[in-house]
Structure 1
């Protein structure tokens, strides 16, 4: 009978955490495709800066609906990319759950790439560009700063945990 050791539990926890991130990605992806209109409206308002408060920065606004659609499709593409990478990463970790430590460690590549892509979306695109350039945080109705921060607050520590070579 196999016993659950701490080492095995650590490996399983890495697979499970990656599955959580993959599941979140799938839900976001499905939502953005099946409810394109409401999320497009959000992107358009942020880019247009039509509900922000600092009039001195309105020159940064992008008012073109064509550009709004292209940026939104870029975001969707990045969400698909990170979700697929995380799903592959989850599968690779699970597939190598009983492999030697070096093999299991090398199986983390797709997970790391997926999490990096997710951090790009939620930290760089939303928290950095959305907040710092488009003043999203000053909007009462189109502000996803805290939502994005909560996502980064979960996935970044997971990336640190995944990358640590704790397996023997």
Structure 2
């Protein structure tokens, strides 16, 4: 018996497409801005790594990275990661539009996980805690990082909702 699609499953597929596209657009614009206006966020990264606007606690200041070479290398790595994540999410969006849902979900998951790692582990964990960015009144990006982390996490959850097939079996979860 052919499997029928329900309006619910179509809405979830459209939701997955649009949400993936939204995050792809966002991170593409972030990467583009960091490339075309390199100096603005370069200063942000330099100040966070140098810890020059924190409380100057001697027990923590040994963590500071003051070498401009290492600071700029970290910034370039961030931009490269953002750009790669954007390309992966663009590919995921394309696959959603092509109705290749299994691959779209896998590719989108990879792109979203890349962002969760960058903004969760990188900015919130390493920047926020290791380099005590939370202490800085001027160079504190924790709110922005949390927004991207939460957006990416919500989209990741949304694309993993079961689409269903429109049969009684998929609605009840039984397979008898």
Q: What is the TM-score normalised by the length of structure 2?
A: 0.87
Q: 1:83 aligns with which of 59, 67, 86?
A: 86
Query: Aligned partners of 1:132 and 1:156: how far apart in 2?
Result: 21
Aligned counterpart, 1:161: 158
Aligned counterpart, 2:51: 49
Contact 1:11 1:167 in 2 (8 A): no
Contact 1:43 1:72 in 2 (8 A): yes
Query: Aligned partners of 2:115 and 2:164: how far apart in 1?
Result: 25
Say what the alpha-carbon RMSD is for the aligned residues.
Answer: 1.5
Query: Aligned partners of 2:77 and 2:28: how far apart in 1?
Result: 16
Aligned counterpart, 1:61: 64
Query: Aligned partners of 1:69 and 1:86: how far apart in 2?
Result: 26
Alignment partner of 1:108: what SS?
helix
- Give the drift of 1:54: 4.5
Question: Where does structure 1 lack aligned partners over 5 or more consecutive residues?
Answer: 97-102
- Give the drift of 1:149: 0.5
Question: Where does structure 2 lack aligned partners over 5 or more consecutive residues?
Answer: 1-5, 166-176
Larger Rg: 2
More RCO (CA 8 Å, sep 6+): 2
Q: How many residues align?
A: 160
Query: Aligned partners of 1:167 and 1:92: how far apart in 2?
Result: 19
* Pairing 1:14-163 to 2, within 5 Å after superposition: 14-55=16-57, 56-96=59-99, 104-163=101-160
Contact 1:105 1:165 in 2 (8 A): no
- Give the drift of 1:10: 1.1
Q: What is the TM-score normalised by the length of structure 1?
A: 0.91
Query: Aligned partners of 2:65 and 2:104: how far apart in 1?
Result: 41
